[in-house]
Structure 1
Amino acid sequence: MNTTISNSTLKASIKSAGAELFSLKDNQNKEYIWEGNPDFWGKHSPILFPIVGTLKNNTYTANGNEYELSRHGFARDMEFQLVEKTENSAVFSLQSNEETLKKYPFKFELQLIYTLENTSLKIEYVVINKGDSKIPFSIGAHPAIALPESFESYSFKFEKEESLKYNLLENDLISNKTETLKTTENVVPLHYKLFENDALVFKTLESNSLTILENSKPYVQIDFEDFPSLGIWTKDQAPFICIEPWFGYSDTADNSGDLFQKEGILTLEADQTFNSQFSIKIL
């Protein structure tokens, strides 16, 4: 089932499958979200929960038991319920169930709240601990912004002038190897060679937003003040770029496997609620 919300400047469409945003158009009908062509990558903007990235051997332990979880977790592959809708907002919910408890033995509710405000789409994540003990989790976004011009026509502008040090991935895990993006006045030109070793993983950033420039003109701004980490990714020759605000990231090679001890993990006490949000602003 698809749900569409709109205001005077934007229209957003979301699938109940994964509560995934698959379209964001302006009032000129210009599309800003990647179409999901499977020849490159068959998704649009999946939710990453209850992990971000890859676990070592795709397994983890919790309270002495071992479980399997595939890359980025299961929420993106599950059916959400539409629980509330207005003209410019929609709330989707996923409750833990028999299927999730086999992979992740914690009771939770995950809500995605989409709200259009002027020229921005705000996406809020709510995690509710429905159990009687604390739960460990990571959560992240993975929106793919469509790039209709040639890839090299685009660049990033980070909000703040800073050293843009990122960790390299090795076999999908976070390595200790780092590199630093070269910038000119906070701007990084885009080229596919940047991503020859997969995503750029920034564990920490001073910037709270990133602007995609098209031919040096502002195109789309991603605001991620609530999120400590950021991934940036594309596929070779693909006409999109993913700007991914994260809480958490892939395992390190020396990770113990205990999910509660995982680097970057969040924990939520019984009956407590976690909230975070980011936004996509059309410029």
Structure 2
Amino acid sequence: MSRMQTLGTTDYTQVMGILNVTPDSFSDGGRYTTLEEAVARAGAIDEVGADIIDVGGESTRPGADPVSVQEELERVLPVIEQITADPDIDALVSIDTYEPDVAEAALAAGADIVNDQNGLDNPEMQSLVATHGCKAVLMDAVNLPVDAGYNPKSDDIVVDVYERLQDRVERARVAGVSDDQLIIDPGIGFATGAEDDLELLARTGEFVDLGFPVLVGASRKSFTTEFVDLQPNERVAPSLAAHLVAAENGANIVRVHDVAETVAALRTAEALWSRQRTQ
């Protein structure tokens, strides 16, 4: 059975490795801006166990400058074309975008998945996903582009996000997207402050009740500094802790910068959890 057929349904947590081909992403901006650097990075994270390589051409960090569709295409398409043509790379390829034109071109270039930070809110994106039949990550994000000062009041953030995701799923269904195409993402770091992010993470299991594979992306995000003051590229340990909690609570996929470390931590934890269940 292929990786696409088992996406989000394996008995282990799958790892989506982040490949930002941007000059200004909050953690790794500027590291993979040439085609050679990006393709080498893709090969490296595939080799250490990534199930998916998530290619992004626009930063969503607070205060990031928006880029044109043309510029985003120029950043991501050559990378996707080379990755998908490389017989040594087994990982699926995801395009991290909310622009339908970018998603369409990326799929034509060989991408397997659309990772839409805007939750398939755009009717053009809904139509594209429905027509193509590809997998799509539907993320909750009411704060996109990200405003660091945005702090909505919520009696229960998990209930609010759950209901928004449920609404987005229904709208996608009406547009012709089938349930087996969808993966949901509660959008940690996009609509809340640190306390709400921690709550979403601790209660990941409640999103499983929606009936779709769940993706969690907590890698190097600012809420991980609530307990220890670290710069983004120093946040490996708290990111691992966050993703282990997500996996234990039912996350099917985690989206990470530190692929080798995450794969090692997950496979070790899963072996221990399995032993605990049989005792």
Q: Structure 2 length normalisation: TM-score? A: 0.27
Larger proportion of strand: 1
